[in-house]
C-alpha cells in the first residue's frame, strides 16, 4: 500500500495491499478499497464506498458525494458499490444511492466528465463516453456504449448491447441490441456491436425478426407484445421481456426515415 504524504485518509477507511493513493487525494469515512485500486491526484472518495479489486479513480474524480435528492437527509444511509476493474477518468462524478445504493458491475470505462446520479445501476463492460449525464435510478445493461454528451432522464432503462448517439437525449427506455439517436428515437439494430460480441448469423436473424415485429409491422407496443407471446427463443424473449417491463417510461420509437432500412 502506497499513500502519498499529502493525501488525507480517514481512520475508518480500509485499504488493502497494493492500493495506491496519489497526491492530495481524499479518502473519507467508511471507504473500502480492495487490492490493486489506484486513486490519482486530487480525487475524492467521500464516504460509504465499497470498491472491489483493480479499480482506477482518475484525477479529480469525485465518488460517493451525497445524492442530489431533496428528500435526502445527511444521516440517511446511502452508498456506492463498485465491482472489479472499472476505470473512472478525470472528473467523473458518482453519487451515493439510498437503499441498495448506486451499484456498478465489472470492467466499465467511464470517460472524463461522466456523471452517475444516485441509485444508478451499471452492468458489466459498459463504455460511457465523455460528459454523459445519467439521472437517478437509470439502469444500463451489459456492453452498452453511451455516446459523448448524451443525457438520460431518471428511471430510464438502457438494454444490453445498446449504442447511443452522442449529444442525444433519452427519457424513454431503449430496448436491447438497438441503436438510439436524437431525442428518444431508435435508428436500427446495433449490427456491428452484435457481430463484435460474437453473435452468430442465426442469432442476429432472431434479433432482427423481433425488432421487425416491434417496429416495422405497423403494430403498437401492446399488439406487438401479444403477437410475440408465443416466442420462446432466448434473444427474442429477452428483447420482448425488456419491452414488456417498460411500464414507467415507455420505449423509444423508430425514426421514420430508418423505417424501411434493412436491419442486417
Q: In this structure, are residues 94 and 116 in contact, taking their beta carbons and an 8 Å threshold?
A: yes
Q: In this structure, are residues 82 and 49 in contact, taking their beta carbons and an 8 Å threshold?
A: yes
Residues 138-157, mean pLDDT to the nearest whole number: 98
Judge whether 2-137 and 193-258 match in fold.
no
Q: In this structure, are residues 159 and 231 in contact, taking their beta carbons and an 8 Å threshold?
A: no
CATH topology for the 193-258 domain: Udp N-acetylglucosamine O-acyltransferase; Domain 2 (1.20.1180)
Answer whether residue 69 shows pLDDT above 70. yes
Looking at residue 264, its pLDDT comes to 53
| Domain-wise residue ranges, the chain | 2-137, 193-258
Q: Is the pTM of this model over 0.85?
A: yes
Q: Please name every residue paired with 65 in a beta bridge, in sequence order, or none if there are none.
A: 95
Q: How far apart are CA 146 and CA 152, in angstroms?
A: 10
Contact residues for 152 (Cβ-Cβ < 8 A; gap 6+)? 132, 133, 134, 135, 138, 146, 158, 170, 171
- Helix/strand/coil for 246: coil
- Helix/strand/coil for 226: helix
Would you place residue 21 in the very low, low, confident or very high pLDDT band (cuts 50, 70, 90)?
Answer: very high
How far apart are the two ends of the chain, measured CA to CA in Å?
Answer: 50
Percent over 70 (pLDDT), the chain: 97
Q: Which CATH architecture is the domain 2-137 placed in?
A: 3 Solenoid (2.160)
Q: Which residue has the cell 428483447?
A: 239
User: How far is C-alpha 168 from the geometric centre of its chain's CA atoms?
Assistant: 15
Contact residues for 172 (Cβ-Cβ < 8 A; gap 6+)? 156, 184, 246, 249, 250, 251, 252, 253
Give the DSSP letter of residue 217: S
Residues 16-42, mean pLDDT to the nearest whole number: 98
Amino acid at each position: 500500500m502506497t499513500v502519498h504524504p499529502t493525501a488525507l485518509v480517514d481512520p475508518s477507511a480500509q485499504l488493502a495491499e497494493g492500493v495506491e493513493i496519489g497526491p492530495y487525494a481524499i479518502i473519507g469515512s467508511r471507504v473500502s478499497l480492495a487490492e490493486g485500486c489506484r486513486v490519482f491526484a486530487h480525487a475524492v472518495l467521500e464516504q460509504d464506498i465499497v470498491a472491489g479489486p483493480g479499480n482506477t479513480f482518475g484525477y479529480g474524480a469525485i465518488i460517493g458525494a451525497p445524492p442530489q435528492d431533496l428528500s435526502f437527509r445527511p444521516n440517511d444511509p446511502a452508498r456506492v458499490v463498485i465491482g472489479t476493474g472499472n476505470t473512472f477518468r478525470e472528473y467523473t462524478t458518482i453519487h451515493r444511492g439510498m437503499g441498495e445504493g448506486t451499484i456498478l458491475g465489472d470492467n466499465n470505462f467511464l470517460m472524463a466528465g461522466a456523471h452517475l446520479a444516485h441509485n444508478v445501476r451499471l452492468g458489466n463492460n459498459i463504455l460511457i463516453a465523455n460528459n454523459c449525464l445519467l439521472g437517478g435510478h437509470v439502469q444500463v445493461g451489459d456492453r452498452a456504449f453511451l455516446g459523448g454528451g448524451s443525457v438520460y432522464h431518471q428511471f430510464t432503462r438502457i438494454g444490453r448491447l445498446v449504442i447511443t448517439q452522442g449529444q442525444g437525449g433519452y427519457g424513454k427506455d431503449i430496448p436491447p441490441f438497438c441503436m438510439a439517436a436524437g431525442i428518444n428515437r431508435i435508428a436500427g439494430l446495433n449490427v456491428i456491436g452484435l457481430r463484435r460480441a460474437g453473435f452468430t448469423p442465426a442469432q442476429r436473424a432472431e434479433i432482427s425478426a423481433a425488432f421487425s415485429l416491434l417496429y416495422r409491422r405497423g403494430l403498437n407496443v401492446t399488439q406487438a407484445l401479444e403477437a410475440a407471446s408465443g416466442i420462446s427463443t432466448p434473444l427474442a424473449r429477452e428483447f420482448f421481456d425488456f419491452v414488456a417491463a417498460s411500464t414507467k417510461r415507455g420505449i423509444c420509437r423508430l425514426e421514420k426515415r430508418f423505417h424501411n432500412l434493412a436491419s442486417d
